[in-house]
Each structure stands twice: as C-alpha cells, then as structure tokens.
Chains A and B, each alone.
Chain A
Amino acid sequence: DTEVTQTPKHLVMGMTNKKSLKCEQHMGHRAMYWYKQKAKKPPELMFVYSYEKLSINESVPSRFSPECPNSSLLNLHLHALQPEDSALYLCASSQEGGSSYEQYFGPGTRLTVT
C-alpha cells in the first residue's frame, strides 16, 4: 500500500470557523509533511513531523496548527483563516526525513475560505 489519504477532498469555511484537515498513511513512514499549493504554483512546505515530533515549521501563521497523534496520522487544525489561505493543502510522507527518501503525496484538500 503506497497510498496517502486525505479528508475532506473539498472544504469551504468562513473566516470565523474552526476546521481540521486529516491525513493518513499505512506505509510505516516516520516522516510526514504538510504543503500548501496555490493555483499554477509549486507546493510550498509548511510543516515536517519526524517520528511524531515537529521538526520544521516554515514560519507558518499560528492560525494553522499541526498535530501528529500517532505515526500514521497527521492533522492540520484551521482557525480564523483569511481568504488568501484558500489553496490546495497536500499531505506527504516518507520513510525517514533524511536526504534520499522520496515523498509520497496525497490527493490534497481543496480549501476555500469565504
């Protein structure tokens, strides 16, 4: 199984809402990632978890709050978002967080903030 799953596929939320994005993998990978992708742009790294600990935060605003409950799950909690946060949010995983491990991506959650 080389699949990374993400839910929901689409999400529309108001600026005062609180919502969560979920990601799951069962490949035994120990590194998991959140990326943000705007239209016609490459993915941009937001957070990296390695062995369930946050190892990289790319200066992401605090209205995005990641959580890694266990080695298979990764959440992204959203609160008080802005319309410019509308984007495709991608989750990825890799065997380790080192230099030579390919990252497997999920299908993404298309987020629209109204």
Chain B
Amino acid sequence: GESVGLHLPTLSVQEGDNSIINCAYSNSASDYFIWYKQESGKGPQFIIDIRSNMDKRQGQRVTVLLNKTVKHLSLQIAATQPGDSAVYFCAENRLMDSSYKLIFGSGTRLLVRP
C-alpha cells in the first residue's frame, strides 16, 4: 500500500555539524508535507512545511527539500545542537475518502553527541 517512510531509524551527529533526515513518499498526488519534532514525553511539534509547488523552504536553521520526481523529502538542520535531539517525523497530508488525513512516516531518532 502507499506509505510515507524514512530511510534511517537513528541518526547520530556531532554537535555543530549539519543533520539531514530523509523521507520517501509514494502518493504522487499529495501536495502538502510537514516535518514534526517529538521530544520524549511531549506531543509532536511543528517544524516546517512545504507545498508541492515548491522545491525548497527555509526556516530558522532548518531547510526542507522536496523532490517530486523521486518522491523524496528531506529535513536539513544546520549547526545541530543538543536541544535538537528528538524523534523527527515527516507527514503527508493526503486526500483519502474525500477527507484530508495526516499520514506520518515511521520516524528518525536524532542523537546529538556533545
């Protein structure tokens, strides 16, 4: 079936380095994607979103890239900090049965080494 998935379940980076978290999706009709950060014991926190009419969107220290040709999404975090340690989910807002539903990927745990 169609899904949103991540390539790496765990990513360990050195503090100060850049992090790249990848996500693949299979529904080519999806037109809106979101990255969430979830810290232990908390709910998912919105980081950044991107619509399908864009290839790139930048926020504060974060960049999302969308490659519609290969149905790939990535989140880049510049100068990774200890506070960035969390699980990151990509999510696809997909039209299903006449309603929009947020479909989450399996998640990547980011560990930042001091």
Contacts and interface: CB of A to CB of B under 8 A. Distances in A.
Contacts of B102: 33, 45, 103
Given A99-B31, A100-B93, A102-B34, A90 B44 contact: yes
Contact of A99 (B93, B104, B105, B107): B93
Contacts of B106: 41-42
Interface in B52-111: 89, 93, 95, 97, 99-102, 104-107
Contacts of A41: 106-107
Contact of A45 (B44, B49, B101): B101
A81 interface: no
Interface string A36-51: 0000111111001000
Contacts of A108: 42-43
Contacts, number: 55
Interface string A90-104: 101000011110111
A11 interface: no
B43 A42 contact: no
A100 B51 contact: yes
Contact of B42 (A40, A42, A100, A107): A107
A66 interface: no
Given A42-B107, A99-B95, A100-B93, A105 B100 contact: no
19 contacts: A4-B43, A40-B107, A42-B104, A42-B106, A43-B44, A43-B104, A44-B104, A98-B100, A99-B100, A100-B51, A102-B34, A102-B46, A105-B44, A105-B45, A105-B46, A106-B43, A107-B42, A107-B43, A108-B43
Interface of A: 4, 33, 40-45, 48, 55-56, 90, 92, 97-100, 102-108
Interface of B: 31-32, 34, 36, 41-46, 49, 51, 89, 93, 95, 97, 99-102, 104-107
